[in-house]
Structure 1
Amino acid sequence: MAEVRTDGAELEFELTLPVVVVGAGACGLVAGLAIRSLGVEVVVLERDAVPRGSTFMSSGFVPAAGTRFQRAASVEDDAARMAADIQGKNHGQADPAIVDTLARRSGAVIEWLADRHGVPFELVEGFLYPGHSRLRMHCTPRRTGEELMSCLLNAAEAAELDVLTRARVTTLHVDDRRRVRGLTYQRPDGVEERLGCEALVLACNGYGGNPELIARHIPAMAGALYFGHEGNRGEAVQWGEALDASLRDMGAYQGHGSLAWPHQTLISWAVMMQGGVQVNLHGARFSNEHLGYSEQAAKVNAQPESQAWNLYDRRIHEQALRFEDYRNAEAAGAVKRFDSLQALAEGLAVPLETVRGEFDAMAAAADSGQADRFGRTFEPAHRLAPPYFAIRVTGALFHTQGGLEVDTDGRVLDRDRRPLPNLLAAGGAARGVSGAGDDGYMSGNGLLSAVVLGAIAGETAAALAGAP
């Protein structure tokens, strides 16, 4: 249980550092790199033996506007357009100042990581994710969060950023003004150690791995499959509550409606955006797949056995092979191939007349240019043709999007919206930009907050600790 003790003024810490960061996922590592770049001493504390976090389990796509990668691909984009897209997807429910700041800083942070720290970003081309009006997803060559984490860990090593693993932070020690004076962390053998700090950055993600907090704040996903890092236990939320911090949008989360079952491999939503569809186990479509993969999780889970089939064709299959997760799914036997609709219906044990009716309806929508019964339009170029491919999927909770309310500098705010003296938060520990529910999440929002707000919080922490 995360704890806050008001004994910070009385304790003597054997070692006090200018800044401590809790969590060595993408957020914590980027925050640490930002602090180091300003010449301030910092340590990143990580509970696991190997830093991974939610980033490791993601696709590793970071949205950014106005980058040289976009310009090289003749993509015209800017912060205002990106901010408008984010607010459009979340129905205007996010803090506009935070959205504007993240959009404005995003391009520079991506280029800083690429040019100074050697992260080999490239622009994802070929399709738009739901809500995005421009190509702005930046990824590493293998298009996996695992590779992004490897690149950031390499950058941390090159920058001589101290990362202490197997260090689970249990307690914050504060004074009577709620200034964090230090913390206690526990080693695997149970030994506790204390460390003082001038500023503290919480980069320890959300609470998806805490069933009690999920049941309290997101009852619709209580008992749902959780496909996030098990270490996301909500310590930041618990510490914040103890410090009377403001918590916002606690019902917000990122789901995903395309997790291969039972293989539990993420299937990119690019499959849907390039013409694929989902049908339930009776062969019937049940939604507009282009609205977003987050809200699709609940829609898939509402189907019989909480499962669906992704249906697509060879064109999409060949494009999906660019994603390592998809190649892994194929190697595991999740991808099924059929030469005709009849063979598909027989292989999936669904009524042929139902599947044929869905394909006829999609063809009619493509021919007419009109939206179908779910409000989705189909491009003639995306008409599905044999051979067909199918993957059985389920919906899952990936990570929470609500958390500690912060200002545009990453400083945690109390319930009166006043910044706490030296506590900062970013990534999943902080309130995100996805609104209040599951349908405001726009692709990349999680890593946008982790990477860009992580860099901002790092800069602010360094300044609070007396950076020159």
Structure 2
Amino acid sequence: MPSIERAEPSDFETTVALAIVGAGAAGLTAALAAKEAGVTDVVLFERDATPSGSTALSAGLVPAAGTRFQCDAGIEDSAELFAADIMTKAHDEPDPALVAQVATASGAAVEWLADRFDLPFSLVADFSYPGHSRRRMHGMPSRSGQELVDRLRQAAETAGCDILCDSLVDTLFVGADGSLTGVSFTRPDGTRERLGTSVLILACNGYGGNRELVARHIPELSDALYFGHEGNRGEAVLWGEAIGARLNHLSGHQGHGSVAHPAGVLLTWATITEGGCQVNLRGERFSDESRGYSEQATEVLKQPDGIAFTLFDERIAGICRQFEDFRNLEAMNAVIAAPTIGELAEKLKLPGETLLATMEAFELAKVNGELDPFGRGLKETPRLQAPFRAVRVTGALFHTQGGLVVDSEARVLREDGTAIANLYAAGGAACGVSGSKASGYLSGNGLLTAVTLGRIAGDAAGRRLAGS
């Protein structure tokens, strides 16, 4: 169990200027920003053998507004429009100031990583994600989160950051004045070490891997497949509770209604936004899939055996092949192909007549430009054409979105609203911009706050250390 203990700076034999717990996108971005701000000694603690976390399990797409990548694609966007999209999707629940800050910081952060550290970002310009009024997703060539975290790690190592892998931080030390004074961590062999620090950044994601916390805050997904990183055990939340930090929107989370089963690989939502749909084991549609993949998780889990099939066509498959995950699914023969809906039903072991009637009604709604019975608007949605494709999927919890409340410098706030001067949080450790419900998650919100708050925290930590 993560714990809090008392210790003063003088109690540590070895100290470092900046310690960062977690070497995912948030921690690595924070480290790069701190180095650029002049911090000479930066140490990141990573519980795994190599940095990965939730970033590596995602498509690695960072939403950002007003970038040159958008301009090159002829897309006009702004921080104000991005912030409005976030607030609309999250039912106006998030802190408007935080939303405005991360939306404003997003474009500069992506261009900074591209220009300063040679991360080869490009824009996903051939399809839109639910809730985004502009195409603003930026990713690596493989459209893989693993590539994003690998390139961030390489940049951090080149910048001179020390990344201690296989190092699980179990204790934070707090001084008499309430400031953070150090950490202790354990190695795989059980060896426990202590390190003093002048500034600490928590970038250790959320609590999706802690079943007790999930049952407490997201009971509807307490028995669901967890598709996030098992290391997301909620240390930031538990430490925050112990030191009197303010926590908010702990029920907020990202679900995913399209995890290939049993392959265990994310199926891109382009299969839906480009004109596909989902059916259950009865061959029937059951919801408006276009609302978003996060809220679709519970809709899929309500179906018989918690199973659905995502149906699309070869045109859509061509778009999906830019994603490494989709190419892997094809290599695993998890993408089922057939020249007709009837033959597809046979391969999927679904009732043929029912599936045919379902798909005829779905396509007719496109032709008529009308809302379907679930309220999905299908006007100008491309019709599916033979040959057809399908993937068997289930719903899952991916990561949590609530956490430590931070100020404009990403400093952790106490319950009374005052800041803990030398404690910062970013990414999944901090309260995000998705509100309290799965439906509040706008695609990319996780990496948005990882990259923007990571950079803000690293820069603020550097300025604090420079002034101390």
CA distance in 2, matches of 1:239, 1:81: 35
Q: Aligned-pair distance for 1:343?
A: 0.8
Q: What SS class does the counterpart of residue 439 from structure 1 fall into?
A: helix
CA distance in 2, matches of 1:401, 1:351: 39
User: Which letter maps to 1:142?
Assistant: S
1:33 matched to 2:32 = yes
Q: Aligned-pair distance for 1:11?
A: 5.2
In the comparison of the two structures, how many residue pairs are matched?
Answer: 467
Alignment correspondent of 1:83: 83
User: Which letter maps to 1:339?
Assistant: P
TM-superposition CA deviations, 1:255-297 (whole Å, max 9, x none)? 1000000000110001100001000010000011110000000
User: Which letter maps to 2:7?
Assistant: G
Mean Cα displacement is larger for which, 243-252 or 349-358? 349-358
For 1:274-293, what aligned pairs fall within 5 Å after superposition? 274-293=274-293
Q: What SS class does the counterpart of residue 337 from structure 1 fall into?
A: strand
Relative to the length of structure 2, the TM-score reads: 0.98
Aligned CA distance change for structure 1 residues 10 and 86 (closer, same or farther; 3 Å): closer
TM-superposition CA deviations, 1:81-103 (whole Å, max 9, x none)? 00000000000001111100000
Q: What SS class does the counterpart of residue 466 from structure 1 fall into?
A: helix
Q: Is the 8 A contact 1:276 1:311 kept in 2?
A: yes
TM-superposition CA deviations, 1:181-214 (whole Å, max 9, x none)? 1111111221111111111000000001011111
For 1:28-427, what aligned pairs fall within 5 Å after superposition? 28-40=27-39, 41-380=41-380, 382-427=382-427
Alignment correspondent of 1:18: 17
Q: What SS class does the counterpart of residue 43 from structure 2 fall into?
A: strand
User: Which letter maps to 2:42?
Assistant: V
CA distance in 2, matches of 1:8, 1:421: 17
User: Which letter maps to 1:21?
Assistant: I
User: Which letter maps to 1:363?
Assistant: E
User: Which letter maps to 1:256?
Assistant: H
Mean Cα displacement is larger for which, 354-363 or 7-16? 7-16
CA distance in 2, matches of 1:32, 1:15: 20
CA distance in 2, matches of 1:244, 1:466: 28
TM-superposition CA deviations, 1:405-426 (whole Å, max 9, x none)? 1112101111112111211101
Q: Aligned-pair distance for 1:117?
A: 0.4
Q: Is the 8 A contact 1:198 1:464 kept in 2?
A: no
CA distance in 1, matches of 2:326, 2:354: 27
CA distance in 1, matches of 2:166, 2:381: 52
Q: Is the 8 A contact 1:335 1:390 kept in 2?
A: yes
Q: Aligned-pair distance for 1:364?
A: 2.2
Gaps of 5+ in 1: none
Q: Is the 8 A contact 1:208 1:228 kept in 2?
A: yes
Q: Aligned-pair distance for 1:378?
A: 2.0
Gaps of 5+ in 2: none
Q: What SS class does the counterpart of residue 376 from structure 1 fall into?
A: coil
Q: Aligned-pair distance for 1:387?
A: 1.2
CA distance in 2, matches of 1:91, 1:25: 28
Q: Aligned-pair distance for 1:363?
A: 2.3
Amino-acid identity (%) = 53
Q: Is the 8 A contact 1:18 1:462 kept in 2?
A: no
Q: Is the 8 A contact 2:38 2:466 kept in 1?
A: no
